[in-house]
Amino acid sequence: MTAQRLANLLRRAPWLIHIPLRLARPFHAHVTVGAVGAVFNAAGQLLLVEHLFHPLTPWGLPGGGMNRGETPDQTVRRELLEETALQIEIVRPLIITKSHLLPHHLDIGYLCRLSAPDQPIRLSRELLAYRWFSPEEPLPPLSPFHAEVVRLARQAMAASPIFD
């Protein structure tokens, strides 16, 4: 079949293109994605949470793994809501990097702000505590990825505050 005949067939029946894609799906590379949010309140304080299941560096940014059919933006919003009950606005992505711990895993860090002030925080069972840190306060030890997200977020905040 010539390329032109194939193009004409696909124009008449565009659904045909999905057949080989679905047949090939089990053989595609599998990549997992995690997303965290560097969330700032109106006072410019950064939210850190203490994770139950991170024994080496329990303090870090809220976030988690991406579900099937979800975008990374949706992931960070869902994880913040599930873990802290906070509604957030994503300002922008800060970093996308390959995980140094897991093969075939990408980590994404976002700069975020609260969508409304004075939201009560309700921690999920996977979190032990939370705390808002001002820019001049020292932070507890963080994983290398979380430390880099925090560094980039604080740098972005210093250059251009995200609150009016």
- Containing structural domain, residue 86: 30-159
Q: Could you report how far apart the first and last alpha carbons of the chain are, in Å?
A: 61
Structurally, the chain folds into a number of domains equal to 1
Is residue 11 in a domain?
no
42 or 10: which leads in pLDDT: 42
Joined tokens for residue 46: 């950064």
Residue 127 scores a pLDDT above 80: yes
Q: What is the CATH number of the domain that holds 47?
A: 3.90.79.10
Residue 111 scores a pLDDT above 70: yes
Q: What is the largest CA-CA distance in the chain?
A: 68
Is residue 23 in a domain?
no
Is residue 100 in a domain?
yes
Is residue 5 in a domain?
no
User: Please, what is the average pLDDT of the chain?
Assistant: 89
Is residue 120 in a domain?
yes
3-state helix, strand, coil in the chain (%, to 5): 30, 30, 40
Is residue 46 in a domain?
yes
Joined tokens for residue 14: 């565009």
Token pair 């995980």: residue:
99
pLDDT at 163: 66
Is residue 107 in a domain?
yes
Is residue 62 in a domain?
yes
56 or 140: which leads in pLDDT: 140
Confidence tier at 55 by pLDDT (50, 70, 90) = confident
The least confident of 41-50, 102-111, 115-124, 154-163 is 154-163
Q: Output the pTM of the full model.
A: 0.82
